[in-house]
Homo-oligomer: A and B are copies of this chain.
Amino acid sequence: MTESSGPEEQAFTPRDDDFAPLRWRSGTLYLIDQDQLPARTVWLSCTSVDDVIRAIRDRRIRGTAIGCAAAYAVAMAARAAVAQTPLPSPLELRREIDGVIARIGGPQPTPLIFWALAQMRNTGRIAEGARDPYMLADALEARAVAVHAEDVGRCRRIGHNGAALVPIGAAVLTVGNAGALASGGHGTALGILRTARAEGRQPRVVVCETRPFLLGSRLTAWELMREGFDVTIIPDGAAAAVLRRGDIGCVIVGADRVAANGDVVGHVGTYAVALAASAAQVPFYVAAGAAALDLELAHGGDAAIEERDGSDLLTIGEALIAPRDAISRYPIQDVTPAALVSALVTDTGVARAPFTRAMPALD
């Protein structure tokens, strides 16, 4: 991977007025370097499958953007293969591609990567009968672009389904970054805000800074402010007080997984805001693609939650913000019980309690 100031302006991006954190141009995948935001806007260019695998492993991309990147990596592998001498046969190319897919997915691919790679594998199978390997490589590239466009399309449908929930002129509180930066473009929770804004609802946005990685202040504030949203950043601990004093019309957050009973597994901090919203009788909405619905997960409590154990909380930049030998250990996700969720907004519709009955219709 190398850094650059980014692809030229005419680079592929789903729609001009929407930010996409990954762009495909002439066989190179450009990823915005989220670690450097908001101080610098730097694009990482991935020119090989290994570059993409490294970017995924190092968490340089998040959310459904990971699936899009995985699809582009397969297209990249196909392009590289047909540039070789001797030219592989369509069958040889498909075997090569299957190997690459296994490598990207790893032993336990996340649902997002799994879905994207299944699309690519199917495309490879269908196009195997193609007369020449170039056609197969072209089909795989077209499919990767389609995987990306479908992801943006899902976000747009989430936005369309959820926009009417945003009271006109209201302040909407959000946690983390369920935005364009965590998707192919448009975003889930922030997609609803974008669509609501496009519909003239003039939402103002109150963003929890969302420690430890400051996804709210670094990323959500950045992507909304560049589009002219009215954004106010608050400390995570202030959300409850701000909700209690009646400033907020509704809360909209994203989700990593939604269990069959409607429990929401999301970025740590989500549950605390859900409790505060409930106490203040402010609606709490969860936005997620249908792919995040996990009907095999009966309850959120059954989800495996990663425990972080490291130095995330000890320094920011050069500044030491805790004793050097302090221990920090915390769950990186939390579970919001379905009882605190006013509605779940997906690309296929809006579900309200009882979720056990409403959710299968969305799947």
Contacts and interface: CB of A to CB of B under 8 A. Distances in A.
Interface of A: 38-39, 175, 208-212, 214, 217-218, 221-222, 225, 231-242, 244-245, 268-272, 275-276, 279, 313-314, 316-331, 334-335
A22 to B, nearest CB: 21
Given A221-B323, A221-B326, A317-B318, A331 B233 contact: no
**Across chains A and B, which 10 residue pairs bring their CB atoms closest together, nearest first?**
A237-B269, A317-B319, A241-B334, A240-B272, A217-B322, A211-B235, A238-B330, A316-B316, A234-B330, A236-B237
Contact of A235 (B245, B269, B270): B269
Contacts of A209: 211, 313, 321-322
Contacts of A225: 323, 325-326
Contacts of A329: 232, 234
B316 A221 contact: no
A210 B233 CA distance: 15
25 contacts: A39-B320, A175-B237, A209-B211, A209-B322, A210-B237, A214-B321, A217-B313, A218-B321, A218-B322, A232-B327, A232-B329, A233-B314, A233-B326, A233-B327, A234-B313, A234-B329, A237-B270, A237-B334, A238-B334, A241-B272, A241-B334, A244-B334, A272-B276, A316-B316, A316-B319
Contact of A236 (B211, B221, B326): B211
A237 B326 contact: no
User: Most B CB atoms within 10 A — which of A39, A211, A239, A318?
Assistant: A211
A270 to B, nearest CB: 8
A240 B275 contact: yes
B331 A241 contact: yes
A327 B231 contact: yes
User: Most B CB atoms within 10 A — which of A209, A235, A271?
Assistant: A235
Number of this chain's copies in the assembly equals: 2
A175 B235 CA distance: 14
Nearest to A39: B320
Contact of A323 (B38, B244, B269, B330): B38
B317 A316 contact: yes
A175 B242 CA distance: 18
Nearest to A340: B279
B211 A326 contact: no
A269 B241 CA distance: 8
Nearest to A217: B322
Nearest to A176: B237
Contacts of A319: 39, 316-319
Given A234-B313, A241-B335, A275-B275, 17 more contacts: A38-B320, A38-B321, A211-B236, A212-B235, A214-B322, A217-B322, A218-B322, A225-B323, A225-B325, A231-B326, A237-B272, A237-B334, A240-B334, A242-B330, A272-B272, A275-B276, A316-B316
A256 to B, nearest CB: 13
